[in-house]
Amino acid sequence: MVVKERRTFLGVCLGALFAAGAGAIAYPVFRYLAPRHEAGNNSKVEIPESELTAGNAKYFEYQGKAAVLIRRNNGALVALSAVCTHLGCVVQWQKEKEEFLCPCHAGLFTADGTVISGPPPKPLEKLSFVVANGKVIIG
């Protein structure tokens, strides 16, 4: 009788260990594949206008993705997604040329997000913004 109870106990322990291991593997895979909850979907980002000098870019996070606000040399403001439309790399602002360069496959975009060259199929997404009380409000 004692041998049968011991085997039953060890079988239960082994089953619990297997279930814990399967859960430890399945949970991260599920979290990776499941869509993100975007609690801040309607959030707005405020950037002081004084932080933007001519020709410079200000990177920030908007709705869980990289975004950029630039003040062109002519003074115009432009807010864009900083995510390349080819493979999702974050584009880099080239101040001297007033262009965005994608470091992954050398895609080039104008300051307003239009594709100049390279593999990107679409322009960078434009973000809506307003300027009020010395602040640029994106969203």
What percent of the chain clears pLDDT 70, i.e. is strictly above it? Answer: 92
| pLDDT of 80 above 90 | yes
Quick: pLDDT tens for 16-63: 999 999 989 988 888 877 766 555 555 788 888 888 888 889 999 888
- Class of the CATH domain delimited by 45-138: mainly beta
* Neighbouring residues of 120: CB distance < 8 A, sequence distance ≥ 6: 84, 85, 86, 102, 107, 109
Long-range contacts of 125-132 (CB under 8 A, 24+ apart): 125/80, 125/81, 125/83, 125/85, 126/78, 126/79, 126/80, 126/81, 127/62, 127/67, 127/79, 127/80, 127/81, 128/79, 129/69, 129/77, 129/79, 131/49, 131/77
The ranges assigned to domains in the chain are 1-34, 45-138
Condensed to tens digits (0 to 9), the pLDDT of residues 98-113 reads 899 998 888 999 998 9
Q: How far apart are CA 67 and CA 24, in angstroms?
A: 34
Q: What is the structure's pLDDT at 75?
A: 82
